Chains A and B, each alone.
Chain A
Amino acid sequence: MIETGHNSFVFSQELDSSLLNDLYEGDLEYAEVVFGDFLKYLPDYFGEVEQAFNGKQIDELRKAVHKCKTLMGFVGLSTIQAAYQGVEKKCEKSTDISELETDYMDLRKQTESGKKIITKELGRLKAFNGTKK
Chain B
Amino acid sequence: MKIKSIIVEDIQVAADFLRKFCEKSGKVDVLGHFLNVEDALAFLNQNVVDLLFLDVEMPGATGFDLLDRISYSPKVILTTSKTEYAFNAFQYNVADYLKKPFTYQRFLESIQKIEVTSDIAAAKVDQDHLFIKVDTKLIKLQNTDILFVESMGDYVKFVTPNKKYVTLNTIKNLEEKLDKATFLKVHRSYLVNLTKIDDLDGNILLIQGNQVPISKGHRDEVLKRLNII
Residues of A within 8 A of B (CB): 19, 22-23, 25, 30, 33-34, 37-38, 41, 63, 66-67, 69-71, 73-74
Contact = CB atoms under 8 A, between A and B. Distances in A.
Interface string B77-92: 0000110000000000
A63 B57 CA distance: 7
A73 B104 CA distance: 15
Interface string B1-23: 00000000011111011001000
Given A41-B13, A66-B81, A67-B11, A74 B101 contact: yes
A81 B99 CA distance: 14
Interface of B: 10-14, 16-17, 20, 57, 59, 81-82, 100-101, 103-104
Nearest to B99: A73
A71 B57 contact: no
B10 A67 contact: yes
B100 A73 contact: yes
A41 B81 contact: no
Main secondary structure on A side of the interface with B: helix
B100 A70 contact: yes
Contacts of A37: 12-13, 16
A23 B103 contact: yes
Contact of B82 (A23, A25, A66): A66
Given A23-B103, A70-B81, A74-B101, A34 B13 contact: yes
Contacts, number: 42
Given A34-B13, A63-B59, A69-B81, 16 more contacts: A23-B101, A25-B103, A25-B104, A34-B16, A37-B12, A38-B13, A41-B11, A41-B12, A67-B10, A67-B11, A67-B57, A70-B11, A70-B100, A70-B101, A71-B11, A74-B14
A77 B17 CA distance: 17
A23 B17 CA distance: 10
A8 B10 CA distance: 34
Contacts of A34: 13, 16-17
A19 B14 CA distance: 15
Contacts of B16: 33-34, 37
Contacts of A74: 13-14, 17, 100-101
A73 B81 contact: yes
A19 B100 CA distance: 12
Q: Which A-B residue pairs are the 3 nearest by beta carbons?
A: A70-B81, A73-B101, A22-B103
Contacts of B81: 66, 69-70, 73
Nearest to B24: A27
8 contacts: A22-B103, A33-B16, A37-B16, A41-B11, A66-B57, A66-B81, A66-B82, A74-B17
Nearest to B58: A63
Nearest to B82: A66
Residue from B10, B12, B81, B100 whose CB has the most chain A CB atoms within 10 Å: B81
Contacts of B17: 34, 74
A72 B172 CA distance: 37
Contacts of A70: 11, 14, 81, 100-101
A23 B14 CA distance: 12
Nearest to A62: B57
A26 to B, nearest CB: 11
